[in-house]
Amino acid sequence: MKKFAAVFSVIFLALLGCFGFSTTASATSDSIDSFKAVYNIREDGVIEVNETLVWRFGSGSGRHGINRDFIVREAWDEQHDAVFKYENMQVTSPDASAEVSTEKFDTGEREEQLRYRIGSSDKLVLTPTATYNFSYELRGALRTADGDEQLYWDILTSSVPTIENLEVRVKAPQGVQKVQCFVGSVHSHTPCHISKIEDGEAIFNQSPNLSQDIFTVAAGFKQGAVKNAEPILVENKQLQEQRKLKRFAAASGVGAVAMSIASAFVARRYLRRRRDDRFQGAAPGNIPTDFQNAPIIKDDGKALIPVFFTPPNLPVAYAGVLEDGVFNSRETTATLVSLAVRGHLQIKAEVADGGMSIRKAYSPDPVLPYEQRMLDSLFANNSGDEVQLDDYGQLESEHSRLREEVTNGLLNEGLFKKLGGRKRFGINGSTLLLFSFISIGFSGISLLDLVSNKMTLFLAVVFTPAILAMIWVMHKTKRGTRTAVGTAFTDQVVGFRKYLATAEADQLRFEEGQDIFSQYLPWAIVFGEADRWTKVCRKLIEMGRIPNNTPYWYYGPNFYDMMYYSSWSRMASNVQKAASPEPVQSGSSGFGGGSGFSGGFSGGGGGGSSMSSW
């Protein structure tokens, strides 16, 4: 079995290499004398595009023509991809062949490009330059962000030769109202040479636009002037593929009875060992006095968890990971807010965009070692005592360190036996056998377009049950295995979450003068209930049960506005951005539904096209 799996892996990797994509790059001497484009936005949201470019091949180039590669699909958010439709493409050239062929290909897990190859393999371009005229209709390029209806578009990606004179004009019903333009590498805020409005028409110019520079424009128009200023959003491509795989697996299960039995046997055996521990005879959430000697059973998942009216005696980040086994930006945000509520930070949040700033504060309230290290790191490289969290990577190192220290703490303090994201499977005979079968099955499905349909279907039918078993096992074990103490604390966490998620203002129990909003806010954030909790406490203010005072840990604009507009979940999104590395782009944006006028940058718009000769 080991030899067979090894041989198969070698063959599989070799086939992948054989079928890798290759793209034709421009000759190093290529350049573009001029590129002029007019984007005419119609009332129905369709954009009529006309482009004229003069390509300089040089003498005796031996080239046949050019490639235009348009991004037609890219990531928008976690659930959706944006789709851009290029229709009625017309190409003419007075100097070279304008024969057109098309090819669609993937350039990323969620990105697709459509190539228009201009020219004929039987004809060479005989002149030093050739002019090409493109006209087409573009759908899905508009968006509405931060109240602005706009075209926020990557005209050109970084895979374009130097353009000596680049000019783009944008027309819109009732005229363009405001403009912005960026040039440079991904995330550059450098403005282009010319960005102006003349007679309601946007004019952008960059001379020259250097090779490797992305050119991004934003043109805002009057609200309501265009009937459909929204992108075309479809389901995340990865989710689509997962759903297709599940449908196919369901239809193919009949021919895989033997594999189903084997997979079920191995998975059941494995999951039985990975069930949480629970104290025998103890009520949910209770820890026996002599817990080290208390009898322990495997949790069958049938315990009825009561509502808990106070949070557990745990760090809020511990509680978040105990519940689902995952450490993400919610835990980091909740930790920051917890430090603020305890007097070690002050927070300023912006109502408009959910932005966040923090500044030092001092309190005798004790902090945990990992919290102190986080505080020290936050202000280590700043001349002042305030840090604005508004860009990628600002909290990346703190977030990573916090995740490591919290997960290690949960293990070291005996709340988890094993934690998700670490080693999940022991190496034994049955597991190795299942892995071997699954590896072969996945390989067969990956080669769907590379081998005969009969072989692919055979592999898919036989090994689909093993794949599903693996997915099921991974889902069931993704949060790790809790100890009996960890399960008891988890019961308290779940019970308190029920309280915050269901209690109404007139049902809340607290002592007079207690700042219940501040005390429970970190917990609401880690549970994803921040906006609901804010609304409940706003009702308490209206009822006169809590005062409308700005808490000591807040120093931003009117605090009641924060309560009214429920900006805490947007603040959590801002922390998620600061905790994430800057996205690595390959010429396209994939930055989703941002605005070109508030935080815009090169590569931040939708779509984009690259050009090369062949």
Q: What pLDDT, in 10s, does the model give residues 558-573?
A: 776 666 545 566 676 7
User: How far are the Cα atoms of 317, 318, 488, 490 from residue 313, in angstroms, in the given order?
Assistant: 12, 10, 12, 11
Neighbours of 549 (CB within 10 A): 11
- Whether the ω angle into residue 208 lies within 30 degrees of 0, i.e. cis, is yes
**Residue 275, pLDDT score:** 80
For 22-60, write each residue's pLDDT tens digit.
444 455 578 999 999 999 999 999 999 999 999 999 777
What is the average per-residue pLDDT within 112-131? 94
DSSP 328: -
Residue 19 near residue 450 (C-beta atoms within 8 A): yes
pLDDT for the residue numbered 249: 56
CA-to-CA separations, 324 to 31, 396, 478, 479, 489, in angstroms, rounded: 54, 22, 8, 5, 13
Share of the chain above pLDDT 70, in %: 73
Q: What average pLDDT does the structure give for the chain?
A: 80
Q: Which residues contact 479 (CB under 8 A, 6 or more apart)?
A: 324, 325, 326, 419, 420
Distance CA 531, CA 336 (A): 17
Strand partners, 196: 203
The pLDDT value given to residue 108? 78
Distance of CA 560 to the CA centre of its chain: 31
pLDDT average, residue stretch 475-483: 71
Token representation of residue 187? 């995330």
Comparing 187 with 277, the larger pLDDT belongs to: 277
Confidence of residue 348 (pLDDT cuts 50, 70, 90): confident
Token digits for 515?
A: 């700042």
At which residue do the structure tokens 């977030």 appear?
Answer: 399
pLDDT of residue 570: 66
Two structure tokens written together for 322: 């105990």
Query: If you average pLDDT over residues 524-538, what whole number do you get?
Result: 90
Q: Among residues 194, 198, 229, which one has the least CA distance to residue 215?
A: 194
Domains and CATH numbers, the chain: 31-235 (2.60.40), 301-420+491-579 (no CATH)
The secondary structure of 44-107 as a DSSP string is TS-EEEEEEEEEE--TT----EEEEEEEEEEE-SSSEEEE-EEEEEEEE-SSS---EEEEEEEE
Full DSSP string of 424-478: -----HHHHHHHHHHHHHHHHHHTTTTS-HHHHHHHHHHHHHHHHHHHHHHHHHT
**Is 419:322 a contact under the CB 8 Å cutoff?**
no
